Amino acid sequence: MSESPDGVGYRLDAGVATIELRRPALDASLRGELLAAVRRVRDDGDAVRSVLLTAWGRHFCVGQDLKEHARALENGPESAFACVRNEYNPLVEALHALTQPVVVAVEGACVGAGLGLALCADVRVAAEGARFATAFTGIGLAADSGLSGALARALGPSRAAALMLLGDRFGAEDALRWGMVHRVVPDGGATAEGLALATRLAVGSTAAYAEVKALLRDAPGASLAGVLEREAAAQERLGATRDHRAAVEAFPARAEPSFEGR
């Protein structure tokens, strides 16, 4: 895995790009390295068939480094919050722009901007001891990292409002029951389970995955007619791929299709 000693690791193996946070607090250095890693996924192109976002250590991500933030506030709120538009927003946009399926594996704390990052993933795995919180109102702030929109989409506006206003912590079983995470595993096993899911996705139809992600992204607020038209157009595009033809031909023989992403 290529990495800075305590920053962000990046490894590409068997089509799975693993991005590993090696510190829990998002200081300026870590934010920059994480954005570079996500952009590297884009630059590696078709070699990347799925992405795993995980962390080394006891916690996934505790959000903004508040010691760094306090120092920045001494220079004025304008400079302290420039990182939202200049760093956090491009990072979230880059994660959402990935056409490959993204799996996140969460151990320990996942709060604030860390929760926003986790909600950028398509599939989420949490350890039993994982704990989540929005955290922003507890320090007199609202939200960033796309958390307000992502939380409302994942949980509905009522539960999202309660969690953001009250700031209550919730655990992995709550997240599973609410549909925020796909699977809960024993502590220490989230990364292995996330890698297993990312590996499974890496041998699937990446062309179909990209279309599914686009459909789901555009569905909220769309009319029924709009959804139906987008689905029809996606099916037409996928119907012309070699992957679709190979899968249809393999079906009568009960053979496993081999997907090339084209």
* pLDDT tens column, 96-117: 999 999 999 999 999 999 999 9
Q: Over the stretch 124-141, which tens digit does the pLDDT of each residue have?
A: 999 999 999 999 999 999
Per the structure block, which two tokens stand in for 135?
A: 């955290």
51: left (phi over 0), alpha (psi -120 to 50) or beta: beta
**d(C-alpha 237, C-alpha 100), whole Å:** 17
Orientation of helix 28-44 relative to helix 89-97, angle to 10°: 20
HEC states along the chain? CEECCCCEEEEEECCEEEEEECCCEECHHHHHHHHHHHHHHHHHHHHCCEEEEEECCCCCECEECHHHHHHHHCCCHHHHCHHHHHHHHHHHHHHHHCCCCEEEEECCEEECHHHHHHCCCCEEEEECCCEEECCCHHHCCCCCCCHHHHHHHHHCHHHHHHHHHHCCCEEHHHHHHHCCCCEEECCCCHHHHHHHHHHHHHCCCHHHHHHHHHHHHHCCCCCHHHHHHHHHHHHHHHHCCHHHHHHHHHCCCCCCCCCCCC
Rounded to whole angstroms, the Cα distance separating 202 from 183 reads: 18
Is residue 249 scored above 90 in pLDDT? no
pLDDT tens-digit series, residues 162-187: 999 999 999 999 999 999 999 999 99
Lowest mean pLDDT among 23-37, 80-94, 166-180, 237-251: 237-251
The predicted structure's pLDDT at residue 70: 87
| Cross-strand bridge partners of residue 127 | 185
pLDDT at 173: 97
pLDDT at 168: 95
CB 68 within 8 A of CB 27: yes
